[in-house]
């Protein structure tokens, strides 16, 4: 069997290039041999004059031309491989035979040239064809020797020709077997390479789809790869080449955690990354990444809390070992658990709200009827308590049911919207004229302050925030501020600040949970409803501690509610401008 016969169907396309490259190498060798024969003719023609130097030179020149043409054809016409190979081998045998006869037969020593085409056939053609060409050459040599013996032209060379033929047969068999084994190994390597490529593609898909971040670093702290989850958590753009983690200033906590783990586990071989030990769970480290200038716009203004697990790859060479860092966003995990809890509570409270509203209305109506007939102050005080609590529960039910209303998003001109809302809010709560101040940064054009939001939802959110603020503010001028700013991601933000004591971190952790309140008169649903309404409008509401231009003098970090509106919509800018004009005219 030959290399061509050994090729299975699934590996034929993968091995085809190597066969063509081998044929090109054979053609290059043929060109060199033809050139050497011409050079040899130019410097020494001894022993060739009797047979005719002219015929010898023409034959070598024709052989060189045919070899060059075959080489060019092989490069530009990669079809009918076996036909091209057999044609070139046949030409070689014919030309070498002409040179052999012209040079004087066995005495010329040119029989050794037959090894070139026969070896090429043994490597690239089926064994049967290679043996066929060997038999033709052997028969030709024997026939030429017998003819020389019959013509009594010198010593008979039959034995020499027979030895040449035997050597040719042996060479073809050995070369063919070696070539078959090498081709088989190549096909196996190609198949395994293809399987490995498929496995790597699957691994990339799996790693890209997992929710945990995966970061791969070498001993020097160079990041070689990361999955999309890690890019999102760290706020880093996809790296084109390896980069140093220590060079990114915002990643300093992550770099410090990696250095500490590497020093602690440098000599510990038990935490290698294996299928039985995918990660050392007891090495979990918690870090916080603050905003920085080196991260992308998506995470530039956010603080991320991460849980890290380290594992060292088991490569067998300590110098080539890499460290894999598995990252989990604690905030996302907490939010998911929180949302599951809130979803179940929401379904329960919504059903209870519908059941309670009717008897609550009856209680309120009965209390109103009794109030008409009661004259005693003590009885009136009791009825007033009943009425106040009926109103409070009714307001609570209204907040719950209001969440089910689908958002009707529209373009809202914020200056005129807030101006009307603040005027009504101050009159309702009896606040001083300058108790609440509305402002925006100097770099913003008031005409461009347009947010896409449900007007009723935005009104309820701001009223809830202001109601919460007046409970703790001093009530003096500029005690409550509404500031419209634009963050680095070009998203508008509404900051609600007051001069009260602020919210401590322990309370802030439960601030947006339903029915959680620090006031005896509160329902515990105001902030929860406000955040849910923001989510319905593709916005975000949070309580943040910031130290910026809005912070009051003497404070290290000012706590404030931050409403981050949805991203701007350039295509709807004209419609927003028209809405703004309409809002201003009203």
Q: What is the pLDDT of residues 251-306, one digit of tens each?
A: 888 888 888 887 777 655 444 444 444 444 446 888 877 765 555 444 444 677 88
Residues 6+ apart with CB under 8 A from 114: 93, 96, 137, 164, 168
66-71 own/partner pairs: CB under 8 Å, 24+ apart: 66/91, 66/95, 67/27, 67/30, 67/31, 67/33, 67/34, 68/31, 70/27, 70/30, 71/24, 71/27, 71/28, 71/30, 71/31
Across all residues in the chain, what is the average pLDDT?
75
Residue 174 or 241, more confident: 174
225-229 own/partner pairs: CB under 8 Å, 24+ apart: 229/327
Confidence at residue 575, expressed as pLDDT on a 0 to 100 scale? 42
Tell me which range, 52-56, 168-172, 343-347, 569-573, is most confidently predicted by mean pLDDT. 168-172
- Pairwise CA distance, residues 296 & 489, whole Å: 9
Question: Residue 438 pLDDT more than 70?
Answer: yes
Residue with tokens 């200056």: 415
Average pLDDT over residues 50-73: 73
The H-or-E segment that residue 174 falls in is helix 158-209
Measured at the alpha carbon of residue 479, what is the angle toward residues 478 and 483, in degrees to the nearest 5?
65
Phi, psi torsion values for 440, nearest 5 degrees = -140, 160
| 311-335 tens-digit pLDDT | 877 655 556 678 888 888 877 776 7
Q: Give all strands (DSSP E) within 435-520, no chain letters.
A: 436-440, 450-453, 480-486, 492-498
Q: What percent of the chain has pLDDT over 90?
A: 1
Question: Residue 88 pLDDT more than 80?
Answer: yes
Average pLDDT over residues 164-183: 85
Both structure tokens of 514 = 């339903």
Average pLDDT over residues 449-478: 87
Average pLDDT over residues 88-117: 79
Mutual angle of helices 115-124 and 158-209, in 10-degree steps? 40
Average pLDDT over residues 5-26: 60
- Pairwise CA distance, residues 93 & 535, whole Å: 84
- Pairwise CA distance, residues 330 & 334, whole Å: 6
Tell me which range, 380-384, 415-419, 511-515, is most confidently predicted by mean pLDDT. 415-419
| 416-433 tens-digit pLDDT | 999 889 888 888 888 888
Confidence at residue 581, expressed as pLDDT on a 0 to 100 scale? 32
Confidence at residue 196, expressed as pLDDT on a 0 to 100 scale? 84
Question: Residue 10 pLDDT more than 60?
Answer: no
Residue with tokens 């009717």: 358
Residue 153 or 28, more confident: 28
- Check residue 325 and report its DSSP letter: E
Confidence at residue 516, expressed as pLDDT on a 0 to 100 scale? 73
Residues 6+ apart with CB under 8 A from 582: 413
Confidence at residue 312, expressed as pLDDT on a 0 to 100 scale? 79
Confidence at residue 573, expressed as pLDDT on a 0 to 100 scale? 43
Average pLDDT over residues 135-156: 77
- Pairwise CA distance, residues 133 & 93, whole Å: 8
- Pairwise CA distance, residues 492 & 486, whole Å: 5
Average pLDDT over residues 58-80: 81
Least confident of 77-81, 125-129, 352-356: 352-356
34-73 burial, b at 16+ Cβ within 10 Å, e below that, comes to beebeeebeeeeeebeebeeeebbebbeebbebbeebbee
3-state secondary structure of 133: helix
Least confident of 133-142, 184-193, 280-289, 356-365: 280-289
Confidence at residue 580, expressed as pLDDT on a 0 to 100 scale? 35
Confidence at residue 316, expressed as pLDDT on a 0 to 100 scale? 56
| 544-584 tens-digit pLDDT | 877 666 655 555 557 889 898 887 655 444 443 333 333 33
Residues 6+ apart with CB under 8 A from 350: 400, 401, 403, 404
Residue 358 or 4, more confident: 358
Confidence at residue 317, expressed as pLDDT on a 0 to 100 scale? 58
| 16-52 tens-digit pLDDT | 777 787 887 888 888 888 888 777 766 655 444 434 4
Confidence at residue 426, expressed as pLDDT on a 0 to 100 scale? 87
Residues 55, 59, 61, 64: what is their CA dihedral angle, to the nearest 10 degrees? -170
β-sheet bridge partners, residue 307: 286, 328
Residue 586 pLDDT grade (very low, low, confident, very high; cuts 50, 70, 90): very low
Question: Residue 6 pLDDT more than 80?
Answer: no
Positive or negative CA dihedral for 163, 167, 173, 176?
negative
Residue with tokens 């016409």: 77
């Amino acid at each position: 069997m030959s290399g061509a016969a050994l090729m299975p169907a699934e590996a034929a396309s993968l091995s085809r290039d190597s066969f063509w490259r081998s044929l090109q190498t054979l053609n290059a060798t043929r060109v060199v041999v033809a050139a050497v024969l011409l050079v040899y003719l130019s410097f020494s023609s001894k022993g060739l004059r009797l047979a005719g130097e002219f015929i010898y030179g023409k034959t070598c020149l024709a052989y060189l031309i045919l070899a060059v043409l075959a080489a060019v054809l092989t490069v530009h016409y990669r079809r009918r491989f076996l036909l091209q190979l057999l044609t070139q081998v046949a030409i070689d045998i014919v030309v070498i035979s002409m040179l052999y006869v012209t040079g004087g037969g066995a005495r010329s020593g040119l029989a050794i040239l037959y090894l070139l085409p026969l070896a090429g056939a043994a490597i690239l053609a089926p064994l049967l064809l290679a043996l066929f060409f060997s038999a033709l050459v052997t028969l030709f040599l024997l026939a030429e020797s017998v003819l020389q013996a019959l013509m009594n032209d010198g010593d008979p060379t039959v034995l020499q020709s027979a030895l040449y033929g035997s050597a040719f047969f042996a060479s073809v068999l050995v070369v063919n077997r070696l070539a078959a084994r090498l081709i088989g190994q190549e096909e196996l390597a190609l198949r395994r390479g293809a399987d490995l490529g498929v496995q790597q593609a699957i691994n990339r898909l799996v790693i890209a789809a997992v929710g945990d971040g995966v970061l791969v670093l070498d001993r020097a702290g160079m990041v070689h790869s990361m999955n999309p989850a890690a890019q999102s958590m760290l706020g880093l753009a996809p790296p084109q080449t390896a980069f140093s983690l220590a060079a990114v200033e915002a990643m300093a906590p992550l770099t410090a955690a990696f250095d500490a783990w590497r020093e602690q586990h440098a000599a510990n071989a038990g935490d290698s990354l294996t299928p039985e030990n995918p990660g050392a769970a007891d090495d979990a480290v918690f870090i916080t990444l603050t905003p920085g200038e080196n991260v992308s716009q998506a995470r530039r203004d956010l603080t991320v809390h991460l849980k890290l697990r380290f594992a060292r790859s088991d490569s067998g060479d300590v110098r080539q070992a890499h460290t894999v860092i598995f990252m989990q966003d604690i905030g996302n995990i907490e939010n998911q658990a929180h949302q599951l809890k809130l979803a179940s509570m929401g379904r329960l409270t919504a059903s209870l709200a519908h059941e309670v509203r009717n008897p609550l209305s009856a209680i309120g109506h009965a209390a109103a009827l009794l109030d008409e007939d009661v004259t005693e102050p003590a009885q009136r005080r009791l009825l007033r308590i009943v009425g106040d609590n009926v109103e409070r529960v009714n307001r609570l039910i209204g907040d719950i049911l209001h969440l089910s209303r689908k958002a009707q998003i529209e373009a809202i001109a914020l200056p005129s919207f807030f101006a009307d809302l603040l005027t009504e809010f101050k009159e309702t709560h009896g606040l001083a004229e300058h108790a609440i101040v509305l402002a925006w940064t100097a770099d913003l054009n008031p005409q461009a302050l347009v947010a896409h939001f449900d007007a009723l939802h935005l009104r309820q959110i701001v009223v809830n925030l202001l109601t919460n603020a007046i409970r703790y503010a001093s009530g003096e001028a500029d005690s409550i501020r509404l500031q419209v700013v634009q963050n680095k991601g070009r998203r508008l933000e509404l900051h609600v600040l007051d001069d009260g004591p602020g919210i401590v971190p322990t309370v802030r952790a439960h601030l947006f949970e339903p029915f959680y309140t620090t006031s005896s008169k509160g329902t515990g649903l105001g902030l929860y409803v406000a955040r849910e309404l923001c989510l319905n409008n593709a916005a975000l509401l949070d309580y943040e501690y910031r130290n910026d231009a809005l912070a009051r003098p003497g404070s290290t970090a000012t706590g404030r509610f931050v409403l981050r509106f949805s991203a701007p919509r350039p295509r709807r800018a004209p419609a927003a401008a028209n809405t703004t004009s309409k809002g201003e005219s009203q």
